[in-house]
Chains A and B, each alone.
Chain A
């Protein structure tokens, strides 16, 4: 995705320490932001109330693509949290943007 001129960010309610584990284990090439208070999650409207194992709030899986002006140009939200967005779909969208 970097080749297509796009940056990537992941966001979850997990702590930075937990996120560091994930980045290292999965060798992610992009950062994970820690949104423990759901500030950004609420900003984008993706809070899933009571959905964590302990009954707390977490993000529902969602992907947004923003252009250079900060406008949302694409989004994908699933109605079933087990079915996630495939990376190929995002790459396609970025290629469209790059045209």
Chain B
């Protein structure tokens, strides 16, 4: 019988189950990530789908989910004594990030995109269409008079980001 393999406990924590280091705080980590994915994917992908662009049926719930995870992660970090200062601080920062991003996203969706100029200055029905002379994508000049005798659809758009 040998006893040189017996390891003595290094601290009392090994024995006290309540303060055993808990697993990674997945909630606190996934919160900001889900919020970020929710917000970014709106601009990078979902805007292509008219119904999802007009109201963010996919992205708003995603952002809300991310925020929920962050809140749950912070609650877990602070209610479980196994999480030390760094874990708690990180969870809190994650929550702040999710909150900030969530607020920005909602601001954009519900407020910013409604801030359009008034329509008083816009050309009206029955007006004579203002003339123009501009280069097309091949640098060839196109003018209003080119279209005399034909119906014309003019679509103004914002251009690219």
Assuming A9-B142, A16-B138, A77-B122, is B130 touching A43 (CB within 8 A)?
Answer: yes
CB distance from B60 to the nearest CB of A (A): 13
A35 to B133, CA, bound (A): 9
CB distance from A98 to the nearest CB of B (A): 8
Question: Interface size bucket, A side?
Answer: 35 or more
B53's closest neighbor in chain A, by CB? A82
B148 adjacent to A70 (CB under 8 Å) = yes
A75 adjacent to B124 (CB under 8 Å) = yes
Does B17 interact with chain A (Cβ within 8 Å)? no
A6 to B148, CA, bound (A): 11
* Contact mask for chain A residues 48-88; partner B; CB cutoff 8 A; 1 contact, 0 none: 11011100001111111111111111110111111111100
Does B135 interact with chain A (Cβ within 8 Å)? yes
* Contact mask for chain A residues 14-36; partner B; CB cutoff 8 A; 1 contact, 0 none: 10111110110000000111110
Q: Which residues of B contact A52 (CB under 8 A)?
A: 158-159
* Contact mask for chain B residues 53-74; partner A; CB cutoff 8 A; 1 contact, 0 none: 1100000000000000000000
A98 to B153, CA, bound (A): 13
Does B85 interact with chain A (Cβ within 8 Å)? no
Does B123 interact with chain A (Cβ within 8 Å)? yes
Interface on chain A toward B: helix, strand, loop, or mixed SS? mixed
B108's closest neighbor in chain A, by CB? A82
Q: Which residues of B contact A64 (CB under 8 A)?
A: 123, 129, 153-154
B151 adjacent to A9 (CB under 8 Å) = no
Does B132 interact with chain A (Cβ within 8 Å)? yes
B132 adjacent to A72 (CB under 8 Å) = no
A84 adjacent to B50 (CB under 8 Å) = yes
A70 adjacent to B134 (CB under 8 Å) = no
Known interface pairs A11-B157, A60-B156; 12 further A-B residue pairs with C-beta atoms within 8 A, sorted by A's residue number: A6-B152, A13-B159, A16-B136, A17-B137, A45-B121, A45-B123, A61-B156, A62-B156, A63-B153, A64-B154, A73-B125, A83-B54
Residues of chain A touching chain B, judged by Cβ–Cβ distance below 8 Å, are: 1, 4-14, 16-20, 22-23, 31-35, 39-41, 43-49, 51-53, 58-75, 77-86, 90, 94, 97-98
Give 9 nearest A-B pairs by CB, closest first: A43-B130, A12-B159, A45-B121, A19-B137, A31-B136, A6-B151, A59-B156, A20-B137, A40-B132
